[in-house]
Structure 1
Amino acid sequence: MLEVLVWMAKVESALARSLGHNSASSSSETARRLKKVSRRKRVLARSMLSAASRIRAGSIRAPLLAGLKSLRDDIDDSLSFLVTAIESGLDGAELGEALAVHECLKWNNVILALGGPVRDSFPEGVSMLVAAQRHKRAVESFLELGGLPQSLFRLRAADPVWRERLLLIGEFGPALRQGFRGESLVEAASGKDAIERLRERYYGAVLADEDLPDFKASELCRKASRIFPGIEDRFLFLYGGLEKKGKLPGPGKGMRRLHKSASKEKILEEVGLILDR
C-alpha cells in the first residue's frame, strides 16, 4: 500500500499541475471548475503522502493490491494521454470525456481497492478516504455543470469509499434524496426530531426547510450550536418567499440559503460546498 500511495500522489499532483495551467486559458466558468478539481487533486495528493508517511513511521503492515504492475501501466498511460491532450489545447466536452475515463480507471481499480484495507487495518488513513470522496465530488461537479451526462453517470455510478453524514429536515422529494448517493442520509420531519438526531451524532451537512412547523430557522441553529458549536455553518436552508423589500428571510448573516425553486443540481452543488469545508 505504501508504494501505491506514493505513486498515486504523484499521479494526482501531475494532473493537478496540468489542469491548473489549462484553467488559466479557459473561459471563466470552465476555469473556476478546473481550479476546483485541481485544488482537490492537490489536497488528495497531500493526504496520500501523509498516509504513506504514517505507514512508514509506524511500520504498519498494509496489504498489497493485486495486479499492481498492469494497473500502473494502464493508469500511467492514461495520465500521459490526458496531460498531452490538455497541453495541446483540449477543452470542453473532449476534456470532460478524457478526464472521466481517467478518473473512472483510478477509482474503480485503485481507490476502491484501498478503501476496505484502510478502514479495516489503518484507521489513521480514513482522512485520505474523505479527501478521495471530496475529490470525486469535485470531478462530478465539473462533468455535471459541463453538460456531460454520460461521463458523469459512469463516475457517479461507482461505489463511494466514504459516506458523509447528511441530515435532511423537512419534506423533500425522492429525486433530491436520490441525488445524495454518496452520503449517509438521516431524515427528520420536524425541528424537534432534528435536535434528537443531532444529540446522537455530528453531521457534515444539514439541509433544512425554513418553514418547519415547530421551530424557526434561527431557533433551530441556536439549539444545534449548543450541541455542536459551529455546526450552524453546516446548514443550508430552503426558503419559500421574499420579504417586501426583497430581503431573504432566515437566521442571520453568513447562513447559506436557496429558494425552494432552485434546481436539484444547484442544491446538490451547495451541499457539496458545505461538505468540502
Structure 2
Amino acid sequence: MVYNIRMKELIRWLIEMEERAEKVYTKASAAFSGDKELSDFFKGLSVEEASHRAVIEKAAGLIRGMDIVMPITVDEAARDEVAGHFARCERLMAEEPVDSIAFFECVVFAEFSEWNDIFLYVINRLKPQSSEFVQAAVYIQHHKRRLEDFIEGREELKGLLERIKGLPRVWEDSILVVEDDEDIRGLLKEVLVSDGLVDTAGNGREGLDKIAGRYYSVILSDWDMPVMNGMELYKAAVAKYPGIGERFIFFTGGLDAGRGEFLQNNGLKFLSKPASVREIRKAVAGVLSS
C-alpha cells in the first residue's frame, strides 16, 4: 500500500496549501479594504480556494480503502518552495503599507507553482471516480485566468504579465466548433485558436462523438446542419451530460418564433449570423470565464 500512502500524503499537503491560500487571500481582502476592486478580487480568490479545498477533501474520502498507483510524490524541496511563496506573502501582509506589486508577484509565483500542478495530477488520477474532478481542473485554470485578467486591467501590475506568460498552464481550454459550412468552420477555428485548443465537427452527430471523447469548455454550434442539427445535438448532449448546456453557444442565421422560444426556455446563449469576430470572441470569453 505504499503508493496509496503517497497519494494520501499528497492530498493532505494540498488541503494544507488550500487552507493557507484561503487565509492569505482573506487577509489580503481586509488589508486592501481601501481599494474596493482589489479587496473584492482577493475575497473572490479566497472563496475559490475554499471550493478547491472542498474538492480535495472529497478526494480524501474517495481514496479510503483504494489502492491507487502513485508513481510520483512531492519532495521536500517542492513543498518548501510553495510554502516559501506563502510565507513571503504573509510577511508582506505584516508591513504597513502593504506593497501591492510585491504581494501580487508573490501570489503569481504561488499560483503557478508545483502546488497547482500537483492539484491537477491528483484530480486527473481520480477523474474516473467522479466528473466533479474534471470540472475542478477547469476551475483551476479559470482561477488563473481571472488572476491574469485582473493584472492586465491594473496599470501598476502590467509588468507581471510577461512573467505569467512564461509560466505553464495546468489546463488548456478546449473549444468545439460544430458547423457544416467548411469555410465558416475554418474561419471560426482561426478566430478562436488563441483562446484554446479548437476541434471542429461538420454536423451534430460528429459533434456528439467529439463531446464523448473530450471535455469542451465551449461548444459553438450552428443550428441548421445535415445528419443532426444543433437542437438535436444539444438535446442529445444534455441527456448524456447534465449541465453541459451552459457551455453551448448557438450560431444561427435565422431566429424564428419556435427557435427563439427554445433558446429562451432553455436559457441558451446565441449569436446571430453575421456576427463580428469581436462578438464571437466576446461570447466565447464569457463562457470561458463563467
Which TM-score applies when normalising by structure 1?
Answer: 0.69
- Going from structure 1 to structure 2, the CA distance change for 1:98 and 1:123 (only over 3 Å counts) comes to same
Relative contact order higher in (CA < 8 Å, ≥ 6 apart): 1
Offset of 1:50 from its aligned partner? 2.8
Offset of 1:176 from its aligned partner? 1.6
- Going from structure 1 to structure 2, the CA distance change for 1:139 and 1:173 (only over 3 Å counts) comes to same
**Secondary structure of the corresponding residue to residue 232 of structure 1:** helix
Q: Which runs of 5+ in 1 are unaligned?
A: none
- Going from structure 1 to structure 2, the CA distance change for 1:144 and 1:265 (only over 3 Å counts) comes to farther
* Matching of residue 187 in structure 1 with residue 180 in structure 2: no
* Matching of residue 231 in structure 1 with residue 244 in structure 2: yes
Identity of aligned residues (%): 19
Of 187-196 and 12-21, more deviation after overlay is shown by 187-196
8 Å contact from structure 2 (residues 23, 46) kept in 1: yes
**Secondary structure of the corresponding residue to residue 112 of structure 2:** helix
After TM superposition, the structure 1 = structure 2 runs for residues 147-158 of structure 1, keeping only pairs within 5 Å, are 147=152, 148=158, 149-155=161-167, 157-158=168-169
Which TM-score applies when normalising by structure 2?
Answer: 0.66
Matched letter for residue 109 of structure 2: V
Looking at CA atoms only, which structure, 1 or 2, has the larger radius of gyration? 2
- Going from structure 1 to structure 2, the CA distance change for 1:52 and 1:230 (only over 3 Å counts) comes to closer
Which residue pairs with 1:79 in the alignment?
86
* Matching of residue 167 in structure 1 with residue 179 in structure 2: no
Offset of 1:235 from its aligned partner? 1.0
CA–CA separation in structure 1 for the residues paired with 2:41 and 2:252 = 27
Which residue pairs with 1:101 in the alignment?
109
Which residue pairs with 1:138 in the alignment?
143
**Secondary structure of the corresponding residue to residue 177 of structure 2:** strand
Number of matched residues? 258
Offset of 1:110 from its aligned partner? 3.8
Q: Which runs of 5+ in 2 are unaligned?
A: 1-5, 153-157, 180-184
Which residue pairs with 1:37 in the alignment?
45
Which residue pairs with 1:58 in the alignment?
66
**Secondary structure of the corresponding residue to residue 187 of structure 1:** strand
Offset of 1:230 from its aligned partner? 5.0
CA–CA separation in structure 1 for the residues paired with 2:61 and 2:178 = 41
From 260, 267, 270, give the equivalent of 2:287: 270
**RMSD across aligned positions (CA):** 4.2
**Secondary structure of the corresponding residue to residue 176 of structure 2:** strand
